[in-house]
């Protein structure tokens, strides 16, 4: 398969344990990418994100969490403390990666790509707060984004994900 359209597959991210995870591992999946924080007013969305994952319950759908301390220093945790917090307090089973920067001069390359139309070919949308959501199709292409106040269980998000999943069936 030729990949001439910009996509997330060239990027690698760090797991909580420090191992690198190529995003090409999510090839052929619809992916919702979310920057998270444990001490944010939107933190209850962690539970809603897991509910969304459980409700859609499709092998070709994944949620990826990227903790960040970029907004109000609302992610004081690091390493395994982040995954423990997410799992114990919110029942999170989807992958949560190592803490990254999603804005500023040291922004992670994945978030440079997601937030800049010149790189992703589709949208300009820099996260302005925690729980900004990016929707990526089965080809790794950015197709939409949702602001933090858009709840994970909203019909807008669910319909967008279902529409992409139905394109493959």
Residues marked active site are found at 40
Distance, CA of 96 to CA of 57 (rounded, Å):
18
Distance, CA of 160 to CA of 155 (rounded, Å):
8
Distance, CA of 112 to CA of 115 (rounded, Å):
6
Distance, CA of 60 to CA of 50 (rounded, Å):
15
Distance, CA of 163 to CA of 161 (rounded, Å):
5
Distances (CA, A) of 133 to 1, 4, 117: 27, 24, 16
Q: Which residue carries 């390493």 as its tokens?
A: 79
């Amino acid at each position: 398969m030729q990949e001439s359209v910009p996509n997330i597959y060239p990027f690698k991210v760090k797991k909580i344990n420090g191992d690198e995870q190529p995003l090409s591992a999510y090839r052929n999946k619809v992916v919702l990418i979310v920057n998270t924080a444990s001490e944010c007013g939107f933190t209850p969305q962690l539970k809603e994100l897991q509910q969304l994952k459980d409700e859609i319950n499709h092998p070709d759908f994944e949620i990826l969490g990227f903790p960040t301390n970029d907004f109000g220093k609302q992610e004081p945790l690091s390493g395994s403390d982040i995954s423990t917090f997410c799992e114990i307090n919110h029942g999170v089973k989807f992958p949560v990666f190592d803490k990254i920067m999603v804005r500023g001069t040291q922004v992670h390359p994945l978030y440079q790509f997601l937030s800049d139309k010149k790189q992703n070919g589709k949208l300009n949308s820099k996260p302005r707060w925690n729980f900004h959501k990016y929707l990526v199709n089965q080809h790794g292409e950015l197709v939409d984004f949702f602001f933090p106040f858009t709840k994970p269980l909203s019909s807008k998000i669910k319909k967008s994900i279902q529409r992409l999943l139905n394109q493959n069936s």
